[in-house]
Every structure is written in structure tokens, then in C-alpha cells.
Amino acid sequence: MKYIINLSICLLTMVFLTSCEEEDYTAPYGDFSSFTWWVSPTDTYNEIEKTVSINKYLAFKDLSRGAISHEWRIPKGSRFLNSNFKETDTIYTPFIIPNGGVVTSESIAYVLFTEVGVHEVQLVNTFEESVTGATNVEGTWKAEQTFTITVID
């Protein structure tokens, strides 16, 4: 009886080992690209109009998937901040990136607004494949989104 049980276990083990095939997993919807973003201070994304007080900042995050490149463009008079500040800080000038310019390719951009008025911040991404709102430019897909920021005193 012991012999039959051991033989059965060996046979089942061999059947199990030889019947296993390694397959590459393919996601049900495949890889995809998307163009989306988030702007503080909110829990939702895709908001394109904001109001902020002068000398305060907004955080802009590119949540796009599959982008070849991306960049944030800010108006003159605005400044990029590094991420070393804390939520309790009220003065942000020590965190201004020196010679930060008006364009960054970082996925998250902290932008300090130092002038009252209506300003525009722009996100520009390129993709290998079409995404909503993109146009084909010489074989790549370019998607742009402009954010209207009203800076008040």
C-alpha cells in the first residue's frame, strides 16, 4: 500500500512539473499612454483654473503615462521652488531655484507666483502613440494643457 501511495505521489508530481508552461502575461488592455495632471491644493485632478495669493505657490504634477518627454513652462515673474520647504513655511524665497528659468522637465513643479494678475502655466508632453487632445507632429504626438492662474493680493 505504501508503495502505491509513493508511486502515485511521484507520478502526480511528474505530471504537475511537465504540464506547467511558462507564459508571458499580457495585460488585458495592453500598455497605454494617457495625458493627465494634478494641481494643488485639491484632491481632484484635471483642474485648469486656480486662484492663489501673491507670494504663494502651487504644485503641478504630471500624472501622464507613457510620455516620451514632458516640460512645465511658467510665466516670467514666477519662480520654480525646490522641494525642501515644509507645509508650515510661509516665506518661500529661500527655496527659489537660482537661475531656474521658466522651463523644467521635472515631473512635479512647485511654482511661486510673485506678481498679481492672470498667468498661464503650460504642460507640454510628447508621446509615441495618440492620446486625447494630442496632435501628430513629425511622427510624435504632442499634447499641451494650459492652466490659468489668477494671482490676487
Determine phi and psi for 55, rounding to 5 degrees: 65, 25
For residue 13, the model assigns a pLDDT of 66
CATH code: domain of residue 99: 2.60.40.10
Domain count, the chain: 1
For residue 3, the model assigns a pLDDT of 73
Domain assignment present for 40 = yes
| pLDDT confidence band for 132 (50 / 70 / 90) | confident
Domain assignment present for 23 = no
Q: Which three cell numbers stand for residue 123?
A: 504642460
Q: What is the DSSP letter of 15?
A: H
Domain assignment present for 43 = yes
CA dihedral (54, 90, 97, 109) in degrees, to 10, reads -70
Residue 145's nearest CA partner among 77, 80, 79, 72 is 72
Residues pairing with 69 in the sheet:
126
Domain with 131, as residue range(s), is: 32-152
Domain assignment present for 19 = no
This prediction's pTM: 0.75
pLDDT tens, residue by residue, 14-62: 655 565 555 565 555 556 788 888 888 765 656 789 999 999 999 999 9
Q: Give the residue with greater pLDDT, 130 vs 21.
A: 130
Domain assignment present for 26 = no
Give the C-alpha separation, 48 to 62, whole Å. Answer: 13
Domain assignment present for 3 = no
Domain assignment present for 109 = yes
